[in-house]
Amino acid sequence: MKYRTLGRTGWKISEISFGAWAIGGAWGDVDDQESLAALHAALDGGVNFFDTADVYGDGRSERLLAQLKKERREKFYVATKAGRRLNPHTADGYNRANLTAFIERSLKNLDTDTIDLLQLHCPPTEVYYRPEVFGILDDLVKAGKLRHYGVSVEKVEEALKAIEYPGVQTVQTIFNIFRQRPADLFFKEAQRRKVGILARVPLASGMLSGKITRDRKFAKDDHRNFNRHGEAFDRGETFSGVDFETGLRAVEELKEIVPSGATLAQLALRWILEFPAVTCAIPGAKRPAQVAENIAASNLRPLPKATMKKIEAIYDGQIKPLVHPYW
């Protein structure tokens, strides 16, 4: 495993880290023992950074990470998120009382006195134009409740606005072979300001593993079943906003350029690592075998120019019109 410096925090974090949404249970049934085994496998493979949220399984994902901390000695970082407990999810809800309460709840779930990294959880765009929200986060850092804070965004424009606030250390954004626009302008700006970038949904919800077939049935409570058109939350979070059939067709072409000895999931993760602005990718995984496969992407050689060009061509030809103008 290789490590990269996360923005101005001074932390060296694993370039393949761990996304803990699925183990919360919003992707069909999960078994906590299996989830814990996946978390242990991540630590065994050198992962030292885990991304979760207070709403993943209503705290179940955070509590699994607290359990991991009890069972292991090595130091690892946990990034969680706040905001999505709001109902309705409005900009006005991002006030001192609510944020403080959400954070206190996460501290309990994580069984800690200080949260390593707290991210605003894809708030309404208007929140980025409310400096007072970032002032509240500065106060929570001063109070010792947070070590650092950042944002998780839906759109490039939100990311560009967020990094104007000097306290924002990280931006989490969807970035993968099916979502390339963040690399156009935002990466340059983030590097200039030394802001860390967490690439989420790196496998386009598993589509870029190449293991999803046309007749795969997703559980009723798996968002890949119920959110394909944005029925419950932003449709860009499910298969990266690419419709199922188009995604499968593009995956067939990508399979032809997988380096020998590697898998498509590894190619997809290695592609993300080709961008030095990215601090880490945070693939989600529910099983130790998935973790092992994903982690190994850190050991792949840099991708040949011809492979990068082919990926660009597949994106430009089949995917770009579906996603580029929206996020």
Ligand X SMILES: NC(=O)c1ccc[n+]([C@@H]2O[C@H](COP(=O)([O-])OP(=O)(O)OC[C@H]3O[C@@H](n4cnc5c(N)ncnc54)[C@H](OP(=O)(O)O)[C@@H]3O)[C@@H](O)[C@H]2O)c1
Interface with ligand X by CB under 6 A: which residues? 19-22, 27, 51, 81, 121-122, 152, 172, 200-206, 209, 211, 237, 265, 282-286, 290, 293-294
Rounded Cα gap, residues 57 and 21, in angstroms: 8
Tell me which DSSP letter residue 284 carries.
Answer: B
Q: Measured from the CB atom, is 88 or 144 closer to ligand X?
A: 88
Q: CB 219 → ligand X: shortest distance, Å? A: 9
Q: How far is the CB of 206 from ligand X (least distance, A)?
A: 3
Looking at beta carbons only, is 213 or 260 nearer to ligand X?
213
Q: How far apart are CA 228 and CA 217, in angstroms?
A: 13
Min CB(48)–ligand X separation in Å: 15
Phi, psi of 219 (to 5 degrees): -60, 160
What CA–CA distances, in Å, run from 110 to 113, 309, 313?
Answer: 9, 43, 43
Q: Is 313 exposed, middle or buried (0-12, 13-18, 19+ CB in 10 A)?
A: exposed
Closest contact distance (angstroms) between CB of 78 and ligand X is: 11
Question: Whose Cβ is closer to ligand X: residue 21's or residue 76's?
Answer: 21
CB of 305 to ligand X, least distance (A): 25
Minimum CB distance to ligand X, residue 142 (Å): 25
Name the helix (H) or strand (E) containing 262.
none
Closest distance between ligand X and the C-beta of residue 309, in Å? 23
CB-CB contact of 263 with 255 (8 Å) = no
278 and 47 in contact (C-beta within 8 Å)?
no
Residue given tokens 């400096």 in the structure block? 131
C-beta of 142 vs 252, nearer to ligand X: 252
Q: Which is nearer to ligand X, 57 or 283 (CB)?
A: 283
d(CA 252, CA 244): 13
CA distances from 252 to 211, 246, 256, 319 (A): 11, 10, 7, 13
* Complex with ligand X: residue 144 or 261, whichever CB lies closer: 261
Q: How far is the CB of 321 from ligand X (least distance, A)?
A: 21
Please give the Cα distance from 252 to 264 (Å, whole number): 10
Q: H helices within the chain, ranges in order?
A: 32-44, 60-71, 96-110, 131-142, 156-162, 186-192, 223-226, 244-255, 264-273, 288-295, 305-314, 320-323
Select 145 or 158, whichever has its Cβ closest to ligand X.
Answer: 158
Least distance to ligand X, CB of residue 303, Å: 18
Burial of 208: CB neighbours in 10 Å, binned 0-12, 13-18, 19+ = buried
In this complex, which beta carbon is closest to ligand X, that of residue 26 or of residue 277? 26
* Closest to ligand X by CB, 142 or 260: 260
